[in-house]
Structure 1
Amino acid sequence: MIRTQRGTRAVVVGIVFCLLLSATLAPVSKAALPTTDVDSVGPERSTAAATVSDSANNTTASDNGTTGSDVLSGVAAYRLSRAESDELVPVILVFDDQSRDGGGRNDTTTRAQIRATTNRTQSDVREFLDARRANGTVADVKPFWTRNALAVEATPAVVRTLGGMPNVSAIHYDRPIYATGSVSPSVSAYLDSLSAYGETVRPDSVQRATSGTESWSVKSIGADAVQERGITGTGANVSVIDSGIDDSHPALRGQVVRWQDFVGDSSQPFDPWGHGTHVAGTVAGRTDANRSVGVAPGARLFGARALNADGQGSMSDVMAAMEWSAENHADVVSASLGASPFPLEYRGERGVRPNETGTADIELYANGSGVYQTNAKYDGFKPAYVYVLVEPTRVGGEQIQSDERRAEVMRNLSVTLRDPAGETPLRGVDAGWWFADGRVPAQIAYQRFTPRNGTAIETPGNWSLDVENDHPESVSYRYRTTAYYPSNGSDQFSRYVDSLVTTTDTVAVISAGNAGLLGNRSVASPGASAGAITVGASRQTASDVTSFSSRGPVGFGADRRPGIDLIAPGENVTSAYSTSQTDEAEPYVTRDGTSMAAPHVSGTVALLLDANPNATRSDVTRVLRSTARPLPQTAPTVGAGMLDTWSAVNETAELPPSVTTETAPPTDPDGDGRYEDVNGDGNVTLADVQTLFAHRNAGAVEDSQEAFDFSGNGRVNVVDVQALFAAVREN
């Protein structure tokens, strides 16, 4: 019987590159590691192995030397070496000719030419696979044209043969992809350990919403004001690539106009998990439901179910969903999913005598594929930083019983990370931001080591974790080191998104990921794509980014870019929830995550296209960035700033005037010379912003410029509307 790896991926335990993804990373497997007797140990290196796979301690994949082995990525080679001869391994083939974007053109003729080129370069491979379907050595063939690639499940022998066929330039493992939850489990694993020493930073996950009829997040970005002017996203198609959509929910009834199930065979929209329904509700929830949660309630939704009931799919499932969306004329693909930086962990326990140094080996690789294949040439994931946790456990042969004693011992230990030459090119800083009070507890060392020159970690090989003991007694300590390999934007998933958007002019809005506690360089793939609009999460109560929102930059050296385009509401966001997950007739829940932030941007794009149907992808991206409200944080943290839907739509096309254009004389409530109460009703509200916009060119305003020059630019224009809008929101 032919077996497939597809059905067993979820149960694989350990830190395997292809399984360490953004939202449902399993905690690191607890291998049996020796507890060292400090009275008999010297400074020799630790023998503890890295946790890298479900059952293997070796970190390099054997290469059988068969046809096509030189085009296998490290992960693909590793998975093939572990597979049984009759097991189907999911892989993605990339073909030679990728220069098919028509020089930036995406008209019908150019796309037809691209399809023809794709069919020609893939023809031999497709015929080969078709001939092998009958004997069960091949299944689930999915050709793509927006990027010259093909996904297939095949036995190891077939995959290796494919590697030697014409035009096949690379074979990558078709890794699992997960929805981005409230916090990345690659972060959760550390949070669980650190919580034993002090209160850690941890966002809420899911809460029941019990009151109110309107989502705060829709109002905060000004989407409700845009809707009041008759701009609701009408005519725009937004494809939600997720766990499905429950279109029986009153907020979404009639909104889903196209549907395709890529992980099952349902012909009707449904959502067995709820995540996709929440996202869809934020994009286009109806205003006549019990709660107004949608940014663009007039938009048409496509349901592209690429994640199963556990929130898991595959890279090829998501690619297929994106391509189907573009082929069916989706203007926007909204994807709240991805793969967080790949972690490689070592842990163990060491002992060190007074005035000596305990040393543990840590292997760092030139790229993520190198973990599995020492000569791997694919470098989409480069090592960027290392986290180190050290905890004293025994002193003088006695177990440490109190935090005070542990802190006293820790004060006499110093932690250093050295490269193969014994040098210290990485700078370590206390990672106090993981804790509620901003400080690392005194009883442990918890540090983040990064290159001093801002590059990737450039020296692969056998590094060492050195712990020097200045305590008068011997000390035993537990250690845990994790090297992180974030995407530099050249991984296959990110490159697929690049190809999709340039080939079809579809706008790709993708969540940044929820690994923000890792610090800089924590953006998930495919959010690392240069062609995507990558969205971080803002807080509800302040103009700031949440702690869990992943940060840039993406890339190194000359290729370095912020990696975040802008941030949007991602904390305490209320939206629709699948009726299959609750007994309520019209359920709503409140969630946190960049998954919740991205659909605010997707809905805003729909509003932009309603206001100006001729806007291109480049136009949309430019407007979102130029109108975002600037924030004091750096671009890799917040991009251009906070999403400002009102300003973005105004920039795209002038909104119609308000329903009531007659106003009372304006007033100056605070006596500062600026007449914030523009409509003269005695209050400073969004209605004043609307009135100022409608009359900013009227004679009365022009004659009294100083009174309405809220921005201080010497004239009254849309910048003053934005300034007044910002003041109203802050108050």
Structure 2
Amino acid sequence: MSRHSRRTFLRAVGGAVGSAALASGTGVAAGSGGTGERFLVDLREVSRSEVPDAVEILHDIAEIDLLAARGDPDDVPGSASTTPDVTVYRDDRARDPGPARERAGKGPGRNGPAWDSGEPTYTELQWDKRDQRVGDLTENPGDGRTVQDTATGEGTRVAVIDSGVYDGHPDLADVVNDDLSANFTTDPYDFRPNGAGDHGTHVAGIVAATNADGEGVLGTAPGTEIVAHRVFSGVEGATGDVLAAIVDAANKGCDAANISLGYPPATPETDWVPLVAAAYRRTAEYARSKDMVIVNSAGNAGIDMTPDDVVSLPTEVEGIFGVSATGPIGYLWDDKQPSREDKALKKLETEPTHPAVYTNYGTGVDVSAAGGNYDPEAYRDDVPGWYYDLVFSTVVERDDDGDPVPGYGWKAGTSMAAPQVTGAVALVRSLRPDAGAEDVESLLRETARDAPGGEPYHGAGHLDLRRLVKRARK
């Protein structure tokens, strides 16, 4: 089935949300506190005035005619007026890169023996940014024009809809808009990470880290502003929270919303698929009306999404820009020299544009981007340096007193690929502030370059920032 026909199916089911049971492996989202189950109310099936006071409204998403609620769905009149609020997962679930940081540690020490003994610097570990010539990451300033010589994302705003962003990190301190950031979960805390790890902080660094003191990491668009919308209290979230966060991001004038999250692969006949597809279809239409691009990770199950009996959401919903993951094998494995420059990118077993071993592919992939890769045998045998093929970015941990401690670490996944594209949207919008969402997406596809594996793994091609900003500035 072609991409057009597959997304046409998802557009067709997007017109109505009916009641249904849940499939194995997916459940009703749990909330912190409160009583009753979570569900969505379709305001195209029942009027707002008919929803009784006994039903707690968690999010009033009138823009897409939905309510996220908690209580007894039977209290709402109409058999087709309510549906379960399905659980959503971060897109590092299939290949959780946590062991990478556990084995690799926190990266090179900045002032300790490791730093002085010729260990790679933080920017040397950023193969993803070096491959794209994002900024001046070499030891020889002025060695060729970089992407950020043309654009840094200044004047733009992007939403990171994730596990929260730690704004106390030195590379993110001047990036996160604390006033606009918000918590969309039912826990009582703010937008910062709380029980859901540093996934969102890592994503935010890929987009917009500023390398504040010259010894950190650099994001694609350090001039952009991040709005952190937290939708996870743990590894699970709720569809209703995510939809509310996306709509709110559009209302806040965000140029892009990064959603590195998804659902277990299913079939078109799976009961919850029409429900989720419908809700995201409405959300995507609203985002388009506000000229906001929704960038989503394609998923980490290593599956072909093209066959008729496989659906991966929300990537395959029309109006959502899907990103698959690529990465090298062998980056800095032969780490013998104290001054590496970009030579390490020329001594690889596979190129940075090679499809990652875990990435979903096929229908729904618009472009590919750097998400990190790994050699399964090297991982199994703990070969020194295997983790250098992952993506290095900002993280946050907790000390013995429970206080946040900023740091740097590795992760891999389509979760890391999506923010490469989100940062690219910020670059385009800084050069063409009046460009519509569809215009921006067209530029991303038209300037993408061919890569190993072809269309199934890369859609229109692999993200090419230099070609992109060159075209956008004309």
Range class of TM-score, shorter chain: 0.7 to 0.9
Give the match's secondary structure for 1:163.
coil
Q: 1:93 aligns to what?
A: 41
1:240 & 1:613 partners in 2: Cα distance? 20
Answer whether contact 1:203 1:592 (CA < 8 A) is retained. no
Answer whether contact 1:87 1:156 (CA < 8 A) is retained. no
- Say yes or no: does 1:301 pair with 2:223: no
TM-score, reference length from structure 1: 0.48
Q: 2:176 aligns with which of 244, 250, 256?
A: 256
- Say yes or no: does 1:163 pair with 2:78: yes
| Residue identity in the other structure for 1:307 | F
Answer whether contact 1:72 1:170 (CA < 8 A) is retained. yes
Report how many aligned residue pairs link the two structures.
Answer: 378
After TM superposition, give the deviation of residue 87 of structure 1 in Å: 6.4
Q: 1:212 aligns with which of 108, 121, 138?
A: 121
Instruction: Map Cα deviations across residues 27-71 of structure 1 (whole Å, 9 max, x no partner).
Output: xxxxxxxxxxxxxxxxxxxxxxxxxxxxxxxxxxxxxxxxxxx94
2:171 & 2:419 partners in 1: Cα distance? 15
Answer whether contact 1:510 1:527 (CA < 8 A) is retained. yes
Q: 2:257 aligns with which of 304, 322, 333?
A: 333
- Say yes or no: does 1:380 pair with 2:248: no
Q: 1:545 aligns with which of 341, 347, 355?
A: 355
Answer whether contact 2:191 2:230 (CA < 8 A) is retained. no
Q: 1:576 aligns to what?
A: 394
| Residue identity in the other structure for 2:78 | G
In structure 2, relative to structure 1, the CA distance for the partners of 1:533 and 1:294 (3 Å cut) is: same
| Residue identity in the other structure for 2:274 | G
In structure 2, relative to structure 1, the CA distance for the partners of 1:519 and 1:93 (3 Å cut) is: closer
Spell out structure 1 runs of 4+ moving beyond 6 A: 581-584
| Residue identity in the other structure for 1:611 | L
Q: 2:90 aligns with which of 163, 179, 196?
A: 179
| Residue identity in the other structure for 2:167 | D
Answer whether contact 2:298 2:323 (CA < 8 A) is retained. yes
After TM superposition, give the deviation of residue 568 of structure 1 in Å: 0.5
- Say yes or no: does 1:516 pair with 2:302: yes
Q: Which has the higher strand share?
A: 1
- Say yes or no: does 1:602 pair with 2:432: no
- Say yes or no: does 1:587 pair with 2:407: yes
Identity %: 28
Q: 2:70 aligns to what?
A: 153
Answer whether contact 1:246 1:271 (CA < 8 A) is retained. no
1:79 & 1:229 partners in 2: Cα distance? 47
Answer whether contact 1:534 1:564 (CA < 8 A) is retained. yes
After TM superposition, give the deviation of residue 173 of structure 1 in Å: 1.2
Give the match's secondary structure for 1:297.
coil
1:79 & 1:644 partners in 2: Cα distance? 38
Answer whether contact 1:573 1:590 (CA < 8 A) is retained. yes
Answer whether contact 2:159 2:229 (CA < 8 A) is retained. yes
1:615 & 1:339 partners in 2: Cα distance? 31
In structure 2, relative to structure 1, the CA distance for the partners of 1:587 and 1:323 (3 Å cut) is: same
In structure 2, relative to structure 1, the CA distance for the partners of 1:232 and 1:71 (3 Å cut) is: closer
1:648 & 1:266 partners in 2: Cα distance? 39
- Say yes or no: does 1:265 pair with 2:174: no
2:318 & 2:237 partners in 1: Cα distance? 23
After TM superposition, give the deviation of residue 94 of structure 1 in Å: 2.5
In structure 2, relative to structure 1, the CA distance for the partners of 1:524 and 1:221 (3 Å cut) is: farther
In structure 2, relative to structure 1, the CA distance for the partners of 1:88 and 1:601 (3 Å cut) is: same
- Say yes or no: does 1:72 pair with 2:13: no
Instruction: Map Cα deviations across residues 95-136 of structure 1 (whole Å, 9 max, x no partner).
Output: 43xxxxxxxxxxxxxxxxxxxxxxxx86x3x3333x433xxx
Give the match's secondary structure for 2:22.
helix
Give the match's secondary structure for 1:588.
strand
After TM superposition, give the deviation of residue 244 of structure 1 in Å: 0.4
In structure 2, relative to structure 1, the CA distance for the partners of 1:205 and 1:515 (3 Å cut) is: farther
After TM superposition, give the deviation of residue 636 of structure 1 in Å: 2.9
After TM superposition, give the deviation of residue 579 of structure 1 in Å: 3.9
After TM superposition, give the deviation of residue 226 of structure 1 in Å: 4.2
After TM superposition, give the deviation of residue 586 of structure 1 in Å: 4.0
Q: 1:500 aligns to what?
A: 286
Q: Which of the pair has the greater relative contact order for Cα pairs under 8 Å at 6+ separation? A: 2
Q: 1:491 aligns to what?
A: 277
1:638 & 1:183 partners in 2: Cα distance? 20
Matches within 5 A, 1:440-455: none
TM-score, reference length from structure 2: 0.73
Q: 1:690 aligns to what?
A: none
| Residue identity in the other structure for 1:149 | L
Matches within 5 A, 1:462-473: none
Give the match's secondary structure for 1:157.
helix
Q: 1:46 aligns to what?
A: none
- Root-mean-square deviation over aligned CA pairs: 3.0
After TM superposition, give the deviation of residue 492 of structure 1 in Å: 2.9
| Residue identity in the other structure for 1:75 | L
In structure 2, relative to structure 1, the CA distance for the partners of 1:635 and 1:172 (3 Å cut) is: farther
After TM superposition, give the deviation of residue 261 of structure 1 in Å: 0.7
Instruction: Map Cα deviations across residues 632-672 of structure 1 (whole Å, 9 max, x no partner).
Output: 42423211111101111111114xxxxxxxxxxxxxxxxxx
Q: 1:316 aligns to what?
A: 240
In structure 2, relative to structure 1, the CA distance for the partners of 1:523 and 1:368 (3 Å cut) is: closer
Q: 1:244 aligns to what?
A: 164
Q: 2:341 aligns to what?
A: none
1:584 & 1:141 partners in 2: Cα distance? 29
Q: 2:205 aligns with which of 265, 271, 281?
A: 281
Larger Rg: 1
1:233 & 1:248 partners in 2: Cα distance? 21
Instruction: Map Cα deviations across residues 275-323 of structure 1 (whole Å, 9 max, x no partner).
Output: 0000001110013242223110010000101111x23210000011111
| Residue identity in the other structure for 2:53 | R
1:502 & 1:573 partners in 2: Cα distance? 30
